[in-house]
Amino acid sequence: MAKLLGGITTSHIPAVGNAIANELYEDPYWKPFFDAYPPIHKWLAKVKPDVVINIYNDHGLGFFLDQMPTFAIGAAHEYHNEDEGWGLKPLPPFQGDPKFSWHIIEGMVADEFDITSCQELAVDHGFTVPMQLFWPGLGDNPNMPRAIPISANTVQHPIPTLKRALDFGKSLGKAIRNYPEDVKVVVLGTGGLSHQLDGERAGFINREFDEMCMEKIVTDPEALTKISRHELVEKAGAQGTEFLMWMMMRGALGEKVNVLNQNYHIPISNTGAGTMLLECVD
């Protein structure tokens, strides 16, 4: 049976991709951000997941405002990154696991989640930046796992509630654990935390709210489901809605988790950047 090892959170802002490309790991602006990742690299090298489920939000590459699925799951043999602007160089394809993808899709539809299944999917920085952060060198990294992308709508309102996101994660976790093959799995919850990129509140960051979310997502994620979508935008900013992808990840992990590492740093590209490594408790 598949084994769910844990979950990891990270920001996925495109500026990180440029910082990686330019090797700015020791730059004073970037160092407090990048210092969060070596302990996670050590953990990943130790546990060696076979598959990573990367929960992200598309920013107009795979989907756009005219057709924005609430939840989409990749079922392709590989996933291509294309030029999306931002000065980011396209990366080589990421290997998929279509058999595992279809198992997850079947299980979640059985749980009455309406899933958009994607046999082709272009992945943007929301997907690629976390992969670069956690597996430096990507294809040259001997521990690089197969990938299953899950895209959530955080852009086109109405977006999912935090309760729906957590429930999605619970169904996802059940499907993972029911997979009959012996594979080790890690789940990424990407994006956020608080930030707003436009309008009168451009540059808005709410550290107090971010730190509360980082605490509650470990100890009492159900309490976070009481936050309405309107309140989430008010407290975390228009793009802070990406926190719902952390909730999707957390739901998959089960009732109890151990916090192995965490970091919070501002400002990185006007974003409250949170990183957490959560280990499943059997």
Active site residues per annotation: 125, 195
**Residue 246 contacts residue 192 (beta carbons within 8 Å):** yes
Bridge partners of residue 7, in order along the sequence: 187, 278
Smallest Cα–Cα separation from 77: which of 120, 27, 34?
120
Task: Provide the 8-state DSSP code for 80.
Answer: B
Strand 273-280, strand 94-95: pairing: unpaired
b/e 193-206 (16+ beta carbons within 10 angstroms → b): bbbbeeeeeeebbb
Task: Pick left, alpha or beta for residue 13 (phi over 0 → left; psi -120 to 50 → alpha; otherwise beta).
Answer: beta
Let me know: does 108 contact 171? Beta carbons within 8 Å. yes
Quote the longest CA-to-CA distance of the chain.
51
Q: For residues 206 and 184, what is the distance between their CA atoms, to the nearest angstrom?
A: 35
